Amino acid sequence: MFSTIVVMGYGVFTMVGGVIGFVKAKSVASLVAGVGCGLALIACALGMQQGNRVSAMAAIAIAVLLGARFFMTWRHRHRLMPDFLMGLLSAITVLLVGLSLVFQG
């Protein structure tokens, strides 16, 4: 299922972003949030692979929260990385997982 791959990739990207935020800015908050959300998204992807709709809804919830956070920051700073890119990836994830839920059953 394509949406499972998207959530898995988004989770890995989120984890890597948290580590980069820690390395570049010494931000422990970036590390904790990035790794925590990334692991949660990977767990959601594994649940989605098993056909668990709750996992898909959890992935949407995490993507909405991350997207809101990054789009709000982007509105103030207008930085492409990481704000706009993470907001865009969040929106794509919400759209694709939402469509898969609608058309799946």
Distance CA 40, CA 19 (A): 16
State pTM to two decimals: 0.94
Question: Could you report the per-residue pLDDT of 25-70, keeping only the tens digit for each?
Answer: 999 999 999 999 999 999 999 999 999 999 999 999 999 999 999 9
pLDDT at 74 over 70: yes
Q: Could you write out the DSSP letters of every residue in 16-34?
A: HHHHHHHHHH--HHHHHHH
